[in-house]
Structure 1
């Protein structure tokens, strides 16, 4: 049987290379011969694909035979029309692409499989056409089949891209759903869900809440309106690389390290930390230990109102800032004076005046906590360096 021409040496454009729109009698005879040889072409093409493409072992013979019939039908229709179809017109290519995608055959192998199939059809066109067509008609018929091959390639690649995008989107939604369920404490920890997220039953994880998505870390948008715009996720305890991802120039709250069964409780603690840290205007990565008593500032409204009313409301701003500087400087008057750029005696005078107005006692732990509490609430107490608060 004659060998098919090299596709790289064949014309790729239908302009000027397609047959006349009305098939000649000799061409009609060739088409009839191809149709009579359908079963033989089908069997030979299928055998050749199986022999040359191991990936096709997962494709049932009936399915591969059917795709060969579709290929031959497209070839015959193109010869009758005198023109190759446009890629978007190739329903046969779309069917083949979907079938192969569903069984996991890479697009490159699909294209090779089609080229193998069309080469068999091409060989029969040349063999059967030599006694029937003149040389010009035979060259045009050969060129037309390569145009069909190009159109098939374009359609299959486009369909695969669409299917892969849909598959990726579906997988992403499935991961998000599984992660939401785990963070809500309502997930059934089946092997499929764990594999989908790359999680282990034997590991401990920290739930986290972040103000924005964190690159490289799977997280989901919070559906808790009280959190505002926030994202929740999991990071493995002891994973220094994973924890490093969280340091992303934003407010991130990390819950307690727990097994997956406790992920819901870890998420709840992270949410509480996040709400407080963001309300305080903090940036960085924080845990419950970092915030400590500050977690109660926005949870105990009556206490906060009392402290603010006593230590800040109706008090001169200069006096309040002096007390804040004194606390920031470790209750060291000379350092506070240096920070405020005033004389030491000025700081002492202001502190005495503040004590007269509020009853503040610098030796009373309760008063110290109350003043810190009030200053944090109104945003006057300067945050410690972020590095001191990071996990």
Structure 2
């Protein structure tokens, strides 16, 4: 029997001693391995020892793709949440122990150590390729889970039990409150809005779930997002505990519907729209108020538009004439004249509380609805 066979046999006989020793080094220095079963780690060490024994006998380093131990163990560790740099750190503990054993045995050690480094390169190449593939597969699976979770919330088909399981799989924190978000671009693709909301989520602590569903960007966020463009409506539900997310999505739907009818953009929740959310759905009332307050003024042509501008500014400034005049801007007497013409054309007094309510309704809602 030649020296390489003797060395391979001797190294093989030490596998049962090397495996627990290497395991001890790994768990002492790599925290992510605390959740990896000891039997899994020791089995991987024994398999690497067996690979090196074959390497010693043949004198040939196998191509990366044929190192099945690297593929199997790296896939397993990826599923166990071990980062790739920790996998390679653990591998170095294993090869270091094997190198020391070879040097201790002293049989053609230098040539074997040289082969061992070449094997390490091939092993590393295999792990990197598998881990990259696992990352892609994991990302795709996480995206699928996110979309199914959000679809279930959108169509109210997610039971309490399924919601808890799905939220846990997506790493949502049960102690944190979340709000539904539905972003609708008035034109163009939804992808830019999704990317911008993802960037905002990356800047905030906690986990967010976002996906493009149809023409909308739908999500669950632990924060109130900023506007993402001049032509995007972001409808928000209230911030609620995880089990109440369905309620948040119902509220976001109300805001989205009202905001779309009102031609709004920017970020809005129910408290921002207030009575306008309900008014946007009052079709018959909208028509009546439009006929009472808007149509007679609009019949005056361009001057009618100036009158409505004056009334809107007057109401927005809490009926303060000087402030409203500065907003437009016009002279206070000009503003008063336009307000008077509004009263003449509509037959309604702006000193009446009922008129103020109805005109606010008409200007804020009826002008935007059919």
The normalised TM-score by structure 2 is 0.70
Residue from 344, 358, 361 that aligns with 1:373? 361
Say if 1:322 and 1:350, in contact at 8 Å, map to a contact too.
Answer: yes
8 Å Cα contact 1:75/1:148 also seen in 2 = no
The aligned counterpart of 2:216 is 229
Q: Does 1:128 align with 2:142?
A: no
Alignment of structure 1 residues 196-211 onto 2, 5 Å: 196-200=171-175, 206-210=179-183
Give the one of 90, 93, 96 matched to 1:116. 96
Shift of 1:53: 3.5
Instruction: Go from structure 1 to structure 2 and tell me whether the alpha carbon gap of 1:61 and 1:290 turns closer, same or farther (over 3 Å shift).
Output: closer
CA RMSD of aligned residues (A): 3.8
In structure 2, relative to structure 1, the CA distance for the partners of 1:188 and 1:342 (3 Å cut) is: closer
Q: Retained in 2: the 8 A contact 1:180–1:220?
A: no
Alpha carbons 1:178, 1:187 under 8 Å: kept: no
1:93 and 2:83 are equivalent in the alignment = no
Say how many residue pairs are matched.
327
Check 1:264–1:43 CA distance in 2 against 1; reply closer, same or farther (3 A cut). Answer: closer
Distance 1:75 1:187 in 2: 58
Is 1:186 the counterpart of 2:124? The answer is no
Find 1:291's aligned residue among 248, 273, 276. Answer: 273
Q: CA deviation at 1:269?
A: 1.3
2:249 to 267, 278, 298: 267
2:324 match: 336
Matched, 1:347 2:347: no
Q: Distance in 1 between matches of 2:239 and 2:25?
A: 53
Q: Quick one: distance in 2 between partners of 1:102 and 1:342?
A: 68
Residue 298 of structure 2 corresponds to residue 320 of structure 1:
no
Shift in CA distance, 320/103, structure 1 to aligned 2, threshold 3 Å: closer
Partner of 1:17: none
Compare relative contact order (CA 8 Å, sep 6+) and give the higher one, 1 or 2. 1
The structure with the greater share of residues assigned to helix is 2
Structure-2 residue corresponding to 1:150: 121
1:291 to partner: Cα distance:
1.5
Contact residue 185 and residue 263 of structure 1 kept, 8 A:
no
Q: Which sections of structure 2, spanning at least 5 residues, go unmatched?
A: 28-32, 185-192
Q: Could you say which residue in structure 2 is the equivalent of 1:72?
A: 53
Quick one: distance in 1 between partners of 2:66 and 2:273?
63
Give 1:97 deviation, angstroms. Answer: 2.4
* TM-score for the superposition, normalised by structure 1: 0.67
